Amino acid sequence: MVTSVLSGVSDELDPRLLEHRRELTGYCYRMLGSGFDADDAVQETMVRAWKSFGSFEGRSSLRSWLYRIATNVCLDQLSGRQRRALPMDLSGQSWSPVEASLAAKRPAEAWVEPVLDRAVLPEDGDPAERAVARESVRLAFVAALQHLPPRQRAVLLLRDVLRWHADEVADLLETTVASVNSALQRARATLAAMGGSPEQRPLDDDSRDLLARYLDAFERYDIDAFVKLLHEDATQHMPPFEMWLGSAADIGTWMLGPGSGCRDSRFVQTEANGCPAVAQYRPTADGGHAPWALHVLEIDGGRIRHITSFLDLDNDLFARLGLPAAEELDAASGRTAS
């Protein structure tokens, strides 16, 4: 495993390499559609950089050199791999909110996976650049990126998200400026046709109030109040299941039916994929709670437009994301992420 290799050399890594870890993780996440694959890719990038650091002659900046390595690692990972998707990508028709909808399930590798903002977004810096970074990790945009051929994906990210010049991208990919411009034009056209271009939607005070009311209704399991916070045509995905719900009414029916085991859950508020998110801990038979789902919420026009609920069926999602274990929750509120 790359992680074990890196753990043996971490004390020897030049601190200048580690300074770029977070932005490289964000880049690899957009390329690969999985925060966990991105972590592996960055680990591999660091190992390769560590092994070659003595021969790095500074013909380019250290940052550019690391991006070159990371891009090659991602292209290697993507070779021969099927694209990741969200449930709505697989079918244009929503499912009925009944137990039988859970019959269709796919492995984790089939789905775009979540990432916490703190793992990929800059802590400070230019507000405009941070806004672009936030929008470019939204689930719909990341899912749309997966439709692009890997090299087009890299070109679009380097040019439109990271704002590299065409000649810099051409040098990284060892191609021509004309080729870069052509790839960028095709990538932009594909995303525009899919409606996958990122939009800047800051989390304002009204959105924070909506999130507080969402949590309150969910905690009380007041489904009437919960549904009123959703757009009528709100959708909900539940990877790893193929099913998705296509209206506020269906979401309410689901929560009072197959999803009723979520009553009396506890929650931790966080941020994921550039959006407000809620980690849910569902009651267990012994009176405790266990990690159940990370809900990523997309807010539009004062109501919730999309809910993507990443279910922790294998009991490792929360741990891999660095979310608190159930026993670590504060007994008083359970709302503030550690």
Q: Decide if 14-81 and 139-196 have a common fold.
A: no
Give me the residue label for tokens 């569902």: 282
Domain boundaries, the chain: 14-81, 139-196, 205-333
pTM, whole model, 2 decimals? 0.90
Angle between helices 166-173 and 177-194 (to 10 degrees): 100
Write the CATH number of the domain with boundaries 14-81.
1.10.1740
- Nearest Cα residue to 304 out of 266, 247, 250: 247
Q: What is the pLDDT of residue 1?
A: 42
What CATH architecture does domain 205-333 belong to? Answer: Roll (3.10)
Give me the residue label for tokens 């809620």: 278
Q: Is 151 within 8 Å of 142 (Cβ atoms)?
A: no
Please, how many CA atoms are within 13 Å of residue 222, restricted to the half-sphere of its CB? 9
Contact residues for 66 (Cβ-Cβ < 8 A; gap 6+) = 17, 20, 24, 45, 49
Q: Which contiguous run of DSSP H or E holds residue 231?
A: strand 230-237
Q: Is 222 within 8 Å of 262 (Cβ atoms)?
A: no
Q: What is the pLDDT of residue 329?
A: 76
Q: Mind spelling out the 3-state secondary structure of 58-101?
A: CCCCHHHHHHHHHHHHHHHHHCCCCCCECHHHHCCCCCCCCHHH
Contact residues for 219 (Cβ-Cβ < 8 A; gap 6+) = 265, 266, 267
- Nearest Cα residue to 103 out of 283, 211, 306, 240: 240
- CATH class of the domain at 139-196: mainly alpha
Using 70 as the pLDDT threshold, list the residues of the chain that sit under it. Answer: 1-14, 57-60, 196-203, 330-338
Q: What is the pLDDT of residue 200?
A: 54
Q: What is the SS3 assignment for 148? A: coil
Q: Give CA–CA dist 228/212, Å, rounded.
A: 14
| Residue 62 tokens, joined | 């250290």
Q: What is the pLDDT of residue 334?
A: 46
Q: Give CA–CA dist 84/106, Å, rounded.
A: 11
Q: Give CA–CA dist 293/279, Å, rounded.
A: 6
- Nearest Cα residue to 13 out of 48, 40, 37: 48
* Distances from the Cα of 205 to the Cα of 49, 209, 211, 212, 302, angstroms: 43, 6, 10, 11, 10
